[in-house]
Amino acid sequence: MNLSFNFIKSVSTLYDEMMNNGFSLVYLGEFRHDITKMFTSMAETDMEMNSEEKSVQRKVYHVMVETLQNMNKHSDEITNNKNGNGLFIIGKKEDTYYVITSNKVTKEHAESVEESIKEVNNATKEELKDMYKKQIKEGKLSNKGGAGLGLIDIKRKIDEPLSYQFLLLDDENYLFILKVEINAKKLSTR
């Protein structure tokens, strides 16, 4: 069986992009608990093989779990099985791990997501602590089952701004991209 030149070129281009950007895991599809568990296990094994410090491993693991759960619960592209669909990427370039998620959100939902991220990014450590406590105490579950703790908790753990972007897909929807960076060198000097 011969593969077409275009297919081979596409695979080669994809491989080059992944290597140049430090991608170690890329997944596009449905997000369920078992898939989240598989990704975290693979990432833990990879970090252990690379002798990454335990504190860094815990932070990366935590960010992965939170971002995957957010995508599972808050994607506006929920399947019949009540699971979210999207893109998940984890990688490391130099001393920085990064976790990137992308999923579809409605225009209506995008505004509240952006407000939440801006609020979290602009909060001091003490304000984040207070926001977290308040959300635990008073937080109401959204119609998708979340209490809004994920972004707060991620920011508290990594102490870096959350990067995001909304790309317009059509009249009703955006592609939401969230990038969380975990600086291993900075964490190991704390």
Task: Outline where 1-92 has alpha helix (H).
Answer: 5-21, 33-49, 54-74
Question: Domains in the chain: how many in total?
Answer: 1
Higher pLDDT pick, 159 / 163: 163
pLDDT number for residue 76: 61
Say if CB 90 and CB 98 are below 8 A apart. Answer: yes
What is the domain extent for residue 153? 5-188
Give the side-chain half-sphere CA count within 13 A for 91: 16
| Contact between residue 116 and residue 153 where contact means Cβ atoms under 8 Å apart | no
Q: What is the pLDDT of residues 10-28, one digit of tens each?
A: 888 888 988 988 888 888 8
- Of 157, 152, 177, 179, whose CA–CA distance to 166 is shortest? 177
Domain with residue 90: its CATH number is 3.30.565.10
Read off the pLDDT band of 190 (50, 70, 90): low
As a whole number, the mean pLDDT across the chain is 83
CA torsion 39→73→78→165, rounded to 10°? -80
The DSSP call for residue 148 is S
DSSP letters of 68-119? HHHHHHH-S-B-TTS-EEEEEEEEEETTEEEEEEEEEEEHHHHHHHHHHHHH
What pTM value is reported for the model? Answer: 0.83
Phi and psi angles of residue 102, each rounded to the nearest 5 degrees, phi first: -150, 130
What is the pLDDT at residue 143? 47
Instruction: Kindly report which listed range (88-102, 113-127, 139-153) carries the lowest average pLDDT score.
Output: 139-153
Reduced to 3 states, what is the DSSP secondary structure of residue 22? coil
From 37-51, 79-93, 121-135, 171-185, the region with the lowest mean pLDDT: 79-93
Mean pLDDT, range 29-35, rounded to an integer: 82
pLDDT band at 86 (very low <50, low <70, confident <90, very high): confident
